[in-house]
Each structure stands twice: as C-alpha cells, then as structure tokens.
Amino acid sequence: MSTAFFWIFVMLLALGMPVVFALLVGPGLSLVLDDQRPYFAALLSRLYNGIDSFPLLAVPFFILAGELMNSGGITARIVNFSQSLVGHVRGGLAQVNILSAMLFAGISGSAVADASAIGKMLVPAMEANGYRRSFAAAVTAAAAVIGPIIPPSGIMILYGFVMNLSIGALFAAGIVPGVLMGLGLMAVTRLLASRYDLPVAAPRATWPERGRAFRGAILALLMPLILLGGMLGGIFTATEAAAVAAAYALVVTLFVLRSLRVRGLKEIFVATAVQSGVILLLVGAAVTFGWLVTMSGMAEAMAATLVSITDRPLLLLLLLNLLLFFLGMFLDAGPAILILGPVLGPVFASLGVDPIHFAMIMCINLTVGLATPPMGLVLFVVASVANERVERIVRALLPFLAVHLVVIVAVTCFPALTLTIPRWLGFVQ
C-alpha cells in the first residue's frame, strides 16, 4: 500500500477541508486510485468501531459537566475564592485569573471552556481595575492553557483511547506540569506587576472571609477530589468518573445552588451534543487513518528517518518539540493529537521513550499551540470575549509564552516531572 493517502490528506487539510473529511477523503481517494477495494470497504467499519467505545463516553460527560458548571455560576464562586487568597498581591486580579484557571482546570478539562468562562468574568474586571485590555486577555489565554493539562483533560482522554494508554495514568502525569505552569505564570505576573505598577485587587482578606469564600466554592472544589478519589479508590473508571462529574454538576446546579432551571438544560445538552459529536466523529476518522498508517508501514519508515538524524532520544524529543510547536500553530489540539499520536507514538516507544512521558510532551505542546497564532482557538475565544485584536494580545502574551516553553523543555528533559505521580499511584512501573 502506498503512502499517497498521507500526502493527499496534507494537501486537502492545507486547502481548508475540515479535518474530519480530510481524514476520510485522503485514504478513500488513495485506496480507490491504488485499486485497493477491500481496504476501502473496511474504512466504514473502522470508522464505526473507532466511535463505538465505552472510554469515549468520557468526552461528552466532561463537556457536559463543564457546560453545567459554567452556566450554573460556579465560575464566579471559584473566582471569589481565588480573590480571597491572592487578590491582595500586586497585580492581584491577574493572579486571581491564573489561580481560578488552575482550579477551573480541575473541573472542565478544556482550555476553551476555561478561556470563555474566566475571560467573560475577569477581563472586564481587570480592565476596570486599570489593566490594559490586551494584557488582561493575554493572561486569560496563557492561564487557560492549563485547562487540559491539570486533570481531567479532554485531549488526554482522546490520546489515551487512540494510543491504548491508561487515562488515569495520563491524568496523574499532568498534575505536576500543570501546577508548574500555573506557578510559573504567577511568578512572571508578579515581575510584570512591579514593572507596570499593576494595582492590587482588594485588601488582604481575613481568615473568616477566606473561610466564607471557601464554603461558597467548596462544591466546585470537591469535584476534582471526588473524581480522583473515586478513580484511585477503584470505585469507578475514568469514564464513569466523567459520568459522576456530569451528574454531580447537574445535581449541584439544579438542586443545591438552584442556579440553573430545567428549562435552561436543553441549550446545554444541545451544545454538548454538537461539541462532542464533532470531536468523536473526528476520533473515528483518526482511528481509521491511524489504521492505514500502520498498514502502510509509514510509522516504521518515519522511525528509520528519525533515527538516521540522531539516535539520541532526548535530542529527538527536543526536535519533536519544535515540530509540535510549529504544527500546534496551525492545528487544533484534539485533531493534532489524533493525527500525530498514532504516527509518532510507536516511533518514540521503539526508541525507549516512556509512552506516558511522550504523551505529556505531545499534550502540553499542542495545548500551548491553542494560544499561538494563526490557528489558536483559545486566542480567538479570548479575543472575542475581550473584544481585542489578536495581534495585540499576542504581543502581551510573549512573556507568558516563555513560561510555557520553559515547562515544555523541563518536561522533555526530566521525565520524573511527569512519571513520579503515576509511579506513586501504581500506573507506571
């Protein structure tokens, strides 16, 4: 079988065909031109089987949980709690933005959801507090990137499914890089706050005030603990944890906080159905594409080419970072993970790179790509929420992007940053 399907796919993608169709038309055209009818007949069953999987149920469940929490006013409670902790620091609202994104990351698992939820609340507040709008938007975009790195994470679920890796292990591996990224962003914000003379957000909260803010946010903050506790305690699987998250969000917003009405649910469920439908059809198409990559021997050929450059895995991983950073500028994280995972994963596994470590390099790189132009979904969301031009946001984003790059290099060079917690929890030997 020739590898023409791959080049047809690349051409269609560059011309602007939606990724899901390019993943099917590329192989379809190539197989018809090569007169490989039996393989063509298998395309449909591969597509169907690519979607027909219990672990994939986690995708709509986490999207639903995020939508419910967001619409149910949970974001405001998280922001209030963050403000009570760091609002008194110079550049306080920017710090609140980053801390809120870290806490929200434990609920939503999506950078776009983080950017939209926190941006809508904090960008106007920061502007009113004396921040430049471009700076407020840049902080929001940089912090939102943490969303899919701290568990739960939508792209880790997709990667775990496509590459047959433990989703629990991937979630555990994301904790240290996510926290490091958050702390790095807070440190850079503190430096910029002195340089630009950024204001404090509020006087230092007293401990009783912090206690009240904590009680207000406790239902949201409990969610990641319930999820991780349930998974690690063997009560439920990662997929079932996602269902618990959705059910928990439904009960909390409808019956405990009463911040949502039953009438408002239709819109939330429809948005969830469309988002998850788009993602999961892409998963099915990517599984089909990955099957052809394996059948054509392309992965082996690529491994041979890479090894001919250098046989030092660390150097190859650093080169991979450059490639992923570049591709992340043009491709959304989900499709990029689904396309590149099956191609590159086996290559680096054969070079002795731990699959969980490799997965984290992929996930973090491509997530950071969400905040880089020209194809940065988070950037677009923040630009729309803040009503600010993308190029201005990008300029203000540069110091924060440096933090992202430092974390990527650190994760690449020190596998212990990603593998220690999964080892403690027994996911990795």
Chain residues that interact with other proteins, rule: CB under 8 A: 12-21, 24-25, 28-29, 32, 40-41, 43-45, 47-48, 51-54, 56-57, 60-61, 64, 235-236, 239-240, 242-244, 246-247, 250, 266, 269-270, 272-274, 276-278, 280-282, 284, 330-332, 334-335, 374-375
- Which lies closer to other proteins via its Cβ, residue 153 or residue 239? 239
- Which lies closer to other proteins via its Cβ, residue 217 or residue 280? 280
- Smallest distance, other proteins to C-beta of residue 332, A: 5
- Smallest distance, other proteins to C-beta of residue 96, A: 31
- Smallest distance, other proteins to C-beta of residue 244, A: 7
Q: Which residue has the tokens 């938007």?
A: 137
- Which lies closer to other proteins via its Cβ, residue 276 or residue 418? 276
Q: How far apart are CA 66 and CA 154, in angstroms?
A: 11
- Smallest distance, other proteins to C-beta of residue 239, A: 7
Whether the CB-CB separation of 200 and 89 falls below 8 Å is answered with yes
Q: How far apart are CA 427 and CA 415, in angstroms?
A: 15
- Smallest distance, other proteins to C-beta of residue 240, A: 5
- Which lies closer to other proteins via its Cβ, residue 25 or residue 406? 25
Whether the CB-CB separation of 31 and 318 falls below 8 Å is answered with no
- Which lies closer to other proteins via its Cβ, residue 28 or residue 124? 28
Q: How far apart are CA 429 and CA 414, in angstroms?
A: 17
Q: Which residue has the tokens 């870290």?
A: 102
- Which lies closer to other proteins via its Cβ, residue 99 or residue 245? 245
Whether the CB-CB separation of 390 and 373 falls below 8 Å is answered with yes
Residue of 58, 38, 56, 46 whose CA lies nearest to 290 = 46
Amino acid identity of residue 72, one-letter, is: G
Q: Which residue has the tokens 């914000």?
A: 189
Q: How far apart are CA 354 and CA 334, in angstroms?
A: 21
Amino acid identity of residue 143, one-letter, is: A
- Which lies closer to other proteins via its Cβ, residue 23 or residue 144? 23
- Smallest distance, other proteins to C-beta of residue 223, A: 15
Length of the chain: 429
- Smallest distance, other proteins to C-beta of residue 279, A: 9
- Which lies closer to other proteins via its Cβ, residue 7 or residue 424? 7
Q: How far apart are CA 87 and CA 102, in angstroms?
A: 15
Q: How far apart are CA 393 and CA 114, in angstroms?
A: 17
* Maximal C-alpha separation, the chain: 74
> Which one-letter DSSP state was computed for residue 198?
P
- Smallest distance, other proteins to C-beta of residue 152, A: 15
Q: How far apart are CA 94 and CA 98, in angstroms?
A: 6
Tokens of 91: 């550049």
Q: CA torsion sign, 409 to 411 to 412 to 414?
A: positive
